[in-house]
Amino acid sequence: MAARKTAVLRRPPETDDYLYEPTERRIRGEWFGRTVVDSSRAVLVWAPGKPVPFYAFPREHVRLDLISASVSPSRSRQDVWQWYDIVVGDRRAYSPVCQLDVDGLDDRLVFQWFRWGETGPGEDLDEGERWFEEETEVFTHPRDPFHRVDALRSSRHVRVTIGDVVVGETRNPVLVFETGLPTRYYLPPEDVDFSVLEESEWRTSCPYKGIARYWSFSGTPPEDNVAWSYPEPFPGMEFIEGYVCFYDDAAEITVEE
């Protein structure tokens, strides 16, 4: 019997062309409480120079009665043929949908996920938009099958200082290895000096880890949002729950074996 071949998952190569491949996941998007797109025949697309992929959907899987040509397109792109608004009753989301002028994708519709800071007149992006892969809600942007995140417990000695202040020191960190990013060192909360940190109102979300809360340094000189933590990380990232990580451009992180 011939040896069975093994499939190797590889990140798409850098190219000036659009790359896309079908996904077997059912993708569903909602605006203002209405399902606007629901498809098990989406394709995942990587655009030249863009760090994260997006989905393109067959037109027949989009509620065309809930979209209309944009009354005030909020951006101009050479690869876009037409922008569309989503209209549900008296609610309107400005230009979250487009049709690309790209061979192989020009018969599909693309949705711009969570366009932070790109609001049109009267638009509120904090409400109304939700995305699901199967029945699991996804945040920030589509997950990339070529992007990997591993959280591993470690016994390395990690010391974090800001200026001459030791803000954290541990021999029980969790190391997070994420494709394309530097190794992150998460410290147990009991090994962090919160007397020199103040929680800020800043929050960010990650499709792989969850929603992060932030702390600012209250020492001299003070600095905003130097550290973060995931109080309720997504499944698979439980090791970092409540652990605190510092930006390496805001703190000096010393790691010993």
Residue pLDDT, tens place only, 14-45: 677 899 999 999 999 999 999 999 999 999 99
> What end-to-end distance do the CA atoms of the chain give, in Å?
47
pLDDT at 46 over 50: yes
Alpha carbon distance 196, 256 (integer Å): 24
In the chain, CATH 2.170.150.40 sits at 19-138, 149-256
Mean pLDDT of 123-150: 82
Q: Coil, strand or helix: which one is 41?
A: coil
Binned at pLDDT 50, 70 and 90, residue 74 comes out as low
Beta-ladder partners of 168: 160, 192
pTM higher than the cut 0.85:
no
CATH number of 149-256: 2.170.150.40
Are 217 and 167 spatial neighbours (Cβ–Cβ below 8 Å)?
yes
Higher-confidence residue: 116 or 146?
Answer: 146
What the block records as the tokens of 182 is 């530097």
Binned at pLDDT 50, 70 and 90, residue 49 comes out as confident
CATH assignment of 19-138, among 1.20.1050.10, 2.170.150.40, 2.40.110.10, 1.10.10.10 = 2.170.150.40
Beta-ladder partners of 92: 87
Q: How many CB atoms lie within 10 A of CB 161?
A: 15
